[in-house]
Amino acid sequence: MTFNFDDCVDRTSSDSLKWNYYEREVLPMWIADMDFRSPETIIQALHERVEHGVFGYPREPQELRQILVNRMQSLYGWTITESEIVFLPGIVTALNVVCHAVARPGDGVMVQTPVYPPILGANEFAGLTRESMELTRESDGRYCIDFDRFEQAIGEQTRLFILCNPHNPVGRVFSRAELERMADICLRHNLVICSDEIHCDLLYPGNTHIPIASLAPEIAAQTITLMAPSKTFNIAGMKCSFAIVQNPELRAKLKKADEGMMGHVNILGFTAALAAYRSGIPWLEELLDYLDGNRRVLQQYVKEGMPDIEMTVPEGTYLAWLDCRKLDLDLSPARFFEREARVGLNDGAIFGDGGEGFVRLNFGCPRSTLMEALERMKTALKR
């Protein structure tokens, strides 16, 4: 490899939330934040911008808009225009603004559980109710959608469906057929689709990401697509993301709801995003190979070394969803591994229905870090 993903960067004194949340001796494997240095081209672009020395209000880079238009076309055959892109300082904030844009207090938002907690709770800040349907876990650990339950979960006041694809935490990359059926149901019930596709670049062999809005013009007219370079290039702290909204009326609602609430992407966020998409792809290609290696090592280790834990093999993301229900512990699996193994994991319960008894493990780290965490967990279980 050209890039060294085995390098263990010391983050304990870097104001990292990930590395300073737990006690110092706890190995953090929780929040979706990789431990790899970002591409050198991004670092160099940031150095050059800082050397300029003036940090006034930025304009939105026209080149970045054109790169994104070209990217959607080359990756997905999806034709968009520059005017259909809305830059936003973060996907989580965007989720909440979308709720304000398309629904009124008392209306409903539908989600699929278990799911990323900010999606699970996005309704609350807009005074909306939440309707949810639990994904079906099959015998091999893979998740699928019961479309009858999907449609039954939609109430008279439901106005919005928040889709997570690739899915966090279960790692599904939904197929064209699945996306078409979800979209068909949403259109028949006149629901706006907010599609969180932040992990769309992080896929493993045999899987293809399809933006739900790219399926058909009538679906695009009902969809707000959220994407970002943040997870892809490990620049989440730069706070630069974007929405693609092809319906001008829906786009106007989003911008109106944003007024006075969200602010703008900062100048370094734009610098990092432009450098990422302009010259970070070779780094990304090698990252995906490395993450796939971690995924396979993790799968094999869990199967052989911790056979009472069942792992859902992710099709995308760098997050593993581990079923610990057979361990029959006296406390939650996350708390057990924190206390007995000194490994910090996400408690599956925070992801909603279907998450109890699970943990989420972030394997976006040097392989030596992953192996240390797994060995600690195995040793704790043997005790």
Return all residues near 79 (Cβ < 8 A) that are at least 6 apart: 72, 73
Please determine, for residue 114, whether its predicted confidence score (pLDDT) is greater than 70.
Answer: yes
Indicate whether 11 belongs to any domain. no
Residue, of 100 and 262, whose pLDDT is higher? 100
Residues 159-189 pLDDT 10s: 999 999 999 999 999 999 999 999 999 999 9
> Percent of the chain at pLDDT above 90?
97
Please determine, for residue 374, whether its predicted confidence score (pLDDT) is greater than 80.
Answer: yes
Task: Let me know whether 227 and 354 are in one domain.
Answer: no
- What is the pLDDT averaged over residues 240-268? 93
Residues 270-308 pLDDT 10s: 999 999 999 999 999 999 999 999 999 999 999 999 999
Task: Let me know whether 98 and 124 are in one domain.
Answer: yes
Task: Let me know whether 261 and 301 are in one domain.
Answer: no
Please determine, for residue 1, whether its predicted confidence score (pLDDT) is greater than 90.
Answer: no
Residue 261 binned pLDDT confidence (cut-offs 50, 70, 90):
confident
**Count of domains forming the chain:** 2
Indicate whether 194 belongs to any domain. yes
pLDDT of residue 263: 82
* Per-residue DSSP letter, 221: T
SS3 state of residue 109: strand
pLDDT of residue 86: 97
Task: Let me know whether 29 and 52 are in one domain.
Answer: no
Task: Let me know whether 296 and 350 are in one domain.
Answer: yes
Q: What is the CATH number of the domain that holds 255?
A: 3.40.640.10
Please determine, for residue 325, whether its predicted confidence score (pLDDT) is greater than 90.
Answer: yes
- Residue that finishes a domain, picked among 279, 301, 334: 279
Domain that holds residue 359: 17-38+281-382
Residue 79 binned pLDDT confidence (cut-offs 50, 70, 90):
very high
Task: Let me know whether 141 and 272 are in one domain.
Answer: yes
Give me the helices (H) in the chain, please.
17-20, 40-52, 62-76, 91-102, 117-120, 147-152, 176-188, 217-220, 230-233, 248-258, 267-279, 281-305, 333-336, 367-382
pLDDT of residue 42: 98
- What is the pLDDT averaged over residues 74-99? 97
Cα(146)–Cα(71) distance, integer angstroms: 33
pLDDT of residue 56: 93
Please determine, for residue 260, whether its predicted confidence score (pLDDT) is greater than 80.
Answer: no
